[in-house]
Amino acid sequence: MNTDLRQSLIYASRQFHQLGWMAGTAGNLSAKMPDNSFWITASGKQKGKLVTEDFVRMSLTGEILENPDPNNKPSAETSIHQAIYSLFPEANACYHVHSVEAKLVSNFIDHEQLPLPPIEMLKGLGIWQENPKVYLPVFENYLQVPRISEDIIQRFKQTSPDVPALLIRNHGVTVWADSPEAAENHIELVEYIFRYIVAARQAGLNIQH
Ligand SMILES: CSC[C@@H](O)[C@@H](O)C(=O)COP(=O)(O)O
Ligand SMILES: [Zn+2]
């Protein structure tokens, strides 16, 4: 069971690396198990070449429960995954990638949120409305990652996000879902939407709500 989850993360990471969304060591992926512990990528690993030993198993409160390589440290952004799992108990996977488009669109914001175009792809993120007005929350990027996590907790406790995703400004996107496969799907959908936003701007199309 545990190995299976790590295999899903290795597979997704290789795909994202090939697409340029996890260049070098960028990004981190995690998957939660029924006992509420989660496997997360160890910090600083090349995301195109992960192996089973490149993961650390953590508790939801941040303790290391299992570490196949004593040199491994959990991802520097583990506290963001913890925040997501504690806010959304139905989340079983949390994926974070760094595409060029995610960084670009994180600057096209209005009151700390990115308006998403009302395109069909939103259905894959759970939005089934005609001409929906959907926003993606954008958080400031701090060197101290727990500061970002704290902002996420505070904001989402007050306002639930429209879709299971968030942006960190000039940094990347994070999504969550009830399975690793669904999280992979969410990453592909949000990245498509980001490419669409960038292309629409280049074409001079106004897609603001
Ligand atoms: C290319 S370094 C990017 C890191 O600072 C960070 O943002 C990241 O996504 C990967 O950090 P990691 O500690 O390997 O999980
Ligand atoms: Zn990152």
Q: Express each pLDDT in 143-188 by its tens digit.
A: 999 999 999 999 999 999 999 999 999 999 999 999 999 999 999 9
Distance 168 CA to ligand 2 centre (A): 9
| Rounded average pLDDT over 197-207 | 92
**Reported confidence tier of residue 3, pLDDT bands at 50, 70, 90:** low
Instruction: Quote the pTM value.
Output: 0.97
What distance in angstroms lies between residue 98's CA and the mean position of ligand 2's atoms?
6
Whether residue 2 is predicted with pLDDT greater than 90 in this model: the reply is no
Distance CA 59, CA 65 (A): 7
114 or 4: whose pLDDT is higher?
A: 114
In the chain, domain spans: 5-203
Which protein residue's CA is at the shortest distance from atom 1 of ligand 1? 26
Q: What is the pLDDT of residue 207?
A: 79
Direct distance between the N- and C-terminal alpha carbons of the chain, in angstroms, rounded to an integer: 44
Tell me which residues have their CB within 5 A of the ion that is ligand 2: 172
Q: What is the token pair recorded at 115? A: 């308006």
CA distance 58 to 2: 12
Mean pLDDT within 49-77: 97
Which own/partner contact pairs does 3-9 have at CB distance under 8 Å and 24+ positions apart?
Answer: 3/52, 5/31, 5/33, 5/39, 5/180, 6/31, 6/39, 6/52, 6/55, 7/52, 8/93, 8/180, 8/181, 8/184, 9/39, 9/41, 9/50, 9/55, 9/180
Ligand 1 pocket (Cβ < 6 Å) reads 24-28, 41, 43-44, 75-77, 96, 98
Nearby residues of 129 by Cβ (< 8 Å), 6 or more positions away: none
Q: Say how many Å lie between the CA of residue 144 and the centre of ligand 1.
A: 12
Report the CATH architecture of 5-203: 3-Layer(aba) Sandwich (3.40)
Distance CA 145, CA 24 (A): 20
Residue 1 is predicted with a pLDDT of 45
At a CB cut-off of 8 Å and minimum separation 6, what does 11 contact?
A: none
Task: State residue 162's pLDDT score.
Answer: 98
Task: Supply the DSSP symbol for 11.
Answer: H
For position 67, what pLDDT does the model report?
Answer: 98
